[in-house]
Amino acid sequence: MPGLPDYNAQRILNDVTGAQPIGNAAATRYLGFWTTAPSGDAGATGATEVSGGAYARVQVAGALTAASTISTASSTFTLASTAPAWLLALGTNGSGCNVYDLTNGKQIGTVSSISGTTVTLTGNAANNGSGSSDSIQFSAFGVASASSGSEPGTTAANATNGAVIAFPQATANWGSVLAWFLNDALNSGNYLFWDYMGAYVWQAASVSSASPGVLTSHAHGLSVNDNCVISIKAGGALPTFSAGNFTGPLTVAHAATDTFDVKTSGGTAVNTSATGDVLFRKITGDGAGNAGQPININVTFSFAASQLTLYAA
């Protein structure tokens, strides 16, 4: 559908994830959790971040200074100081992190491992560095991929994490995490991207006028007690009557192959008195109708490589 062409979509995604910052300025990025998602697009308005129990945002991108030249004839280079804890905590000693030379605006490669001040890549550097003082950007996310396919079966440009990202072990229950976000600061800062938990895609549905309103979407894949959210951001029109109950996480009350209806977290059926067209997306839940990913005491939650994907759509 109309939107950003690959050139801009990939540049924006690379900046958001800190893989290749726009303007080649060092970019620090942090990943955090919300138990309540934002109510709109104005930053974190309405969102509730996890707090307590040793929770902290996890740094996933930042810049360091090189202490040696970077050469396409070598798979190693040296940092000016020992790699910091945040970088070593990604993957296994930084494995899977993207490496980008900010000074020269050139992609370098992917980390195999980091020991002390020595960075070992998965292969020889993709480009040469200019000297021993280059500013090198590391990110848990790889370089964004271009879109693929042709309309109407197009997949938007996207970026995914190449390194495992682990949060601190919870020393108390964190609650049910509904969404994750990227921010440019450890505390407060600017929210750059967010999404619900669960690697699911948005799908289109038509909504009937009924009590409850029935959503029709071919082979939607939802089951009773699955959780989903509904939006009309890309067009469509919400039905009326109790359409306001479409806000926030919903639970599937009844489901057939191509149809389903939903209820609120409080168990209220969502009735409609007019038809509509919406987008819906399955989100992570416990299978009993409760939305979110529970993170309890003593749990160390992590995202495996390729588990977090950002789409420019």
Q: In this structure, what are the phi and psi dihedrals at residue 17, rounded to the nearest 5 degrees?
A: -85, -10
Using CA atoms, how far apart are residues 60 and 8, in angstroms rounded to an integer? 22
Element at 114 (helix H, strand E):
strand 106-115
Domains of the chain, start order: 1-197+292-313 (no CATH), 202-283 (2.40.30)
pLDDT score for 1 = 42
Tell me, what amino acid is at 76? T
How far apart CA 264 and CA 252 sit, in angstroms, is 9
In this structure, the number of other CB atoms found within 10 A of the CB of residue 268 comes to 12
Per-residue model confidence (pLDDT) at position 131: 80
- Which run of H or E residues covers position 228? strand 227-231
CB 44 within 8 A of CB 191: yes
- Model pLDDT, residue 2: 55
How does pLDDT run along the chain (313 residues), one tens digit per residue?
457 899 999 999 999 999 999 999 999 999 999 999 998 888 889 999 999 999 999 999 999 999 999 999 999 999 999 999 999 999 999 999 999 999 999 999 999 999 999 999 999 999 999 888 999 999 999 999 999 998 878 889 999 999 999 999 999 999 999 999 999 999 999 999 999 999 999 999 999 999 999 999 999 999 999 999 999 887 788 899 898 899 999 999 999 999 999 999 889 999 999 999 999 999 999 999 999 999 999 999 999 999 999 998 7
* Residue 264: Cβ within 10 Å count: 18
Rounded Cα–Cα distance for residues 298 and 123 (Å): 37
Torsion of CA 171, 175, 178, 181, to 10 degrees: -30
**CA-only gyration radius of the chain, Å:** 22
Whether the bond between 212 and the residue before it is cis, its omega within 30 degrees of 0, is: yes
Cα–Cα distance, 308 to 160 (Å, whole number): 5
